[in-house]
Structure 1
Amino acid sequence: MRPRGIIVVSALAAAGLLLSTFPASADSRSPVAPPAPTRVSTPATSDPSADSPTKLADLCWNRENRWWCSNRTPAPIYEAGTTNIIDYLLTNPSVFACRAEGNRNNNGPHPNRWEWTNGDVTGRWGYVMDSWISSETDPLPVC
């Protein structure tokens, strides 16, 4: 039989190891991106791709280990898996962590694509519809 002290120390060490695998909430790095939103109904007037002519877009670019893309503003950011707008991108260009394919959200070149980013108002992480991004998003890593 093990002494009680060893069991308690072992349990605390395991808990510390487990906690150390998650980034702190104040960490500015992107958390692991959850699945893209499942359904967002977008009126034609809020889909920026609806009134933009078809043209070749500039590519998103990587600078100092961060992916930058040109985008329209204010771009709504959706909570993962919901239709809730949780923040907005107010800057152009903006930093994006990765891209994911989800449900259809626009009529642009990537109608099912969403990009994972954090907002400029509250700093919350969420997804932006690909149609709000004017750069070609193929270079972004997959979430």
Structure 2
Amino acid sequence: MGKFGKAALAAVVSGAALAASCASPAQAATGTETSSAAAAECYASSGNLYCGNAANALIYASAGYTKPGGNPETVVDRLLTTFSYFKCYVSGQRHGGGNSIWYYTYGDVNGRWGYVAAVNVWTSTDPYPGVAHC
């Protein structure tokens, strides 16, 4: 192969793999792709939500990242699993998901209850239909 042959071939193969995965370059680079299959797995039952979520999602003591004075809110636990139970939702601090919905759940590390920003829960809409307001 010529001077640029291997690099050009690698770029073509990489581009083809990216196209086949249907991921955008940003999603492929960051791994932040939200699967439509994960959102399809969400369901509400008896006011509770059962849904896919980000692994290692942080659970906060209240529905926000910061307290009114600007200090960070306390992280009480984490979700280690990628499919979880959420008891209800509240409106809290606006987050990266473009809304202010937070879901109330218990953690996988020490069983503490708290709030997960909806940006970390793979719902198709927030609040998810059929989920109780806390």
The answer to which of 77-86 and 120-129 deviates more is 77-86
Identify the match of residue 117 of structure 2 among 93, 113, 129: 129
Q: Which of 104, 126, 130 does residue 94 from structure 2 map onto?
A: 104
RMSD of aligned Cα (Å): 2.8
Q: Unaligned stretches of 5+ in structure 1?
A: 1-50
What's 1:142 paired with? Answer: 133
Number of matched pairs:
92
Name segments (4+ residues, structure 1) moved above 2 Å.
Answer: 51-60, 62-67
- Secondary structure of 1:77 counterpart: strand
Q: Which has the higher helix share?
A: 2
Task: Give the % identical residues.
Answer: 33
Identify the match of residue 115 of structure 1 among 103, 114, 120: 103
The counterpart of 1:61, out of the listed 10, 24, 43, is 43
- 2:36 & 2:62 partners in 1: Cα distance? 30
Measured against aligned partners, the alpha-carbon deviations of 1:73-92 in whole angstroms (never above 9, x if no partner) come to 10000002651111000112
Give, as a single letter, the amino acid of the residue that structure 2 aligns with 1:132: N
Q: Would the alpha carbon gap of residues 63 and 141 (structure 1) be closer, same or farther in structure 2, given more than 3 Å must change?
A: closer
Pairs within 5 Å for 1:37-116: 51-52=32-33, 57-58=39-40, 60-62=42-44, 66-80=48-62, 82=67, 83-106=73-96, 108=97, 110-116=98-104
**Residue 142 (structure 1) shift:** 1.2
TM value normalised by structure 1: 0.54
Q: Any gaps of 5 or more consecutive residues in structure 2?
A: 1-31, 68-72
SS in 2 for 1:117: strand
Shift of the 79–67 alpha-carbon distance from structure 1 to 2, 3 Å rule, reads same
1:59 positional shift:
6.0
